[in-house]
Amino acid sequence: MRPPKNLNTSLLSFFIAATLTMSCRANTHIAGGANDMPPAATDDSTIFPTSSMTAPRSGHTATLLPNGQVLIAGGMERNGVFYNSAELYNPATGSFTATPQRMGTQRVGHIATWLPNGKVLIAGGWSNEGVLASAELYDSSTGAFTPTGSMSVARGDFTATLLPNGKVLVAGGENDHALSSADVYDPATGRFTPTGNMNTERTMHIAALLPNGKVLIAGGGKYQHPLTSAELYDSRNGTFTVTGNMAFPRYKHAAMLLPDGNVLVVGGSDGRDWQGRYASAEIYNPAKGIFSAVSNMNMARFKLPEAVTLLKNGKVLVAGGGEQVEIYNPVTRSFSVATGRMDAARFYSTATLLADGRVLIAGGYDNHSLASTKAWIYRT
């Protein structure tokens, strides 16, 4: 597939999945073939199909709204076919319907953050014209998308974190290079303001709000050169400070805050993409400022930043990068496999916790770079 004009190599990687079967060498952190892992423990939960989306999407966002519906926005079908369309999933009917209005621009690799005022901030990403600095707000009460202030620089593959003060930290990402800069969006003024820079350039990293109000940023880095390093953002003084390192360099990984205040980090790649996928996971302890290993997942996974979510029972669902869903149990510090499976491994899909405790898993592309309209429901 031919990339659009001005598309950099990092976004090309986002778009083009490997078409050849690739094997991974078995070691302590990279999952190998089926014989490299012990038989998977099973979880008494299940995954099953629900209605399909109105368009095949990967690299989209999914945001739970106050009315219980889920906003699915943007994404792509394939290289060069990006969306400015959006749709709503209604858990009561199990159906998707297109929003009456489209976004102001096509976006893939963007962010979507629910704000305390009930609106959704959507910012950055790529369009056919290149990487974007623009942002817009979705109002669920009217179904309208309206422009808001732009970021200080164009960003794709960055992170957005809702801070305790109701503002949003956007950090890192890339345009023609990886970025160390960060902005803070203020819903009261509709403006992005630069804040302190990270200690290193990061793209395809993770961010998690800690109970103490600081934000953990870990991994990512320059394209194909992921980092082990991590840092903390303090919104009180707008600074980033270095904290403990992860055990392995990771990008295209995922993270989730646990009920005990620690952060679970899962999967990703060592920079070799498909050949370097991780089955490993680790825990960040804010009190000690260190990462420590936990049991491996049952399969190697990457390209799953939006496909991990915290369940109401305190466990963590990991849905991206494989046909099966895994559940992390913080008590046993181990992973088990849910009953049922998707039709294929899905990359850059989304997983959204619904108000009733179920999880909507939507879209993603498969090993042949084909985005899907399909969606699934996980329930305990």
Write down the pLDDT at residue 380: 87
Q: How far is CA 183 from CA 209, 217, 229, in A?
A: 16, 14, 21
- Total-model pTM: 0.90
More confident position, 43 or 61 = 61
- For 168-182, what is the mean pLDDT? 97
Specify whether domain 23-379 bears CATH 2.120.10.80. Answer: yes
CA 338 to chain centre: 21
Going from N- to C-terminal start, the domains of the chain cover 23-379
Indicate the pairing of strand 42-49 with strand 334-339. parallel
Between residues 279 and 3, which one has the greater pLDDT? 279
Q: What percent of the chain has pLDDT over 70?
A: 89
Supply the mean pLDDT for the chain: 90
pLDDT score for 42:
72
The answer on pLDDT for 130 being more than 90 is: yes
Q: Quick one: average pLDDT of 194-208?
A: 98
Over residues 113-122, mean pLDDT: 97
Residue whose entry in the numeric block shows the structure tokens 């979510």: 309
So what's the pLDDT on residue 86?
98
Residue 79 CA to residue 62 CA, distance in Å, equals 20
Amino acid making up residue 15: F
Reported as type and span, the H/E element at residue 168 is strand 168-171
H/E stretch holding 13 reads helix 9-15
pLDDT in tens, 4-18: 323 333 333 333 333
- Token pair recorded at residue 194: 């630069």
Distance CA 84, CA 147 (A): 13
pLDDT at 40: 63
Distance CA 366, CA 372 (A): 8
**pLDDT for 49 beyond 50:** yes
pLDDT value of position 79: 86
Q: For position 45, what pLDDT does the model report? A: 79
Instruction: Please check the confidence at residue 51 and state whether its pLDDT lies above 70.
Output: yes
Confidence of residue 263 (pLDDT cuts 50, 70, 90): very high
What number is the average pLDDT over the span 207-233?
A: 95
Q: Strand 206-209 and strand 215-218: pairing?
A: antiparallel
**How much is the average pLDDT of 183-188?**
98
Residue 274, phi then psi, degrees to nearest 5: -60, -35
pLDDT tens-place string over residues 92-109: 999 999 999 999 999 999
Distance separating alpha carbons of residues 284 and 266, to the nearest angstrom: 11
Query: What's the mean pLDDT in 265-283?
Result: 97
> What pLDDT was estimated at residue 223?
77
Q: What is the pLDDT of residue 16?
A: 33
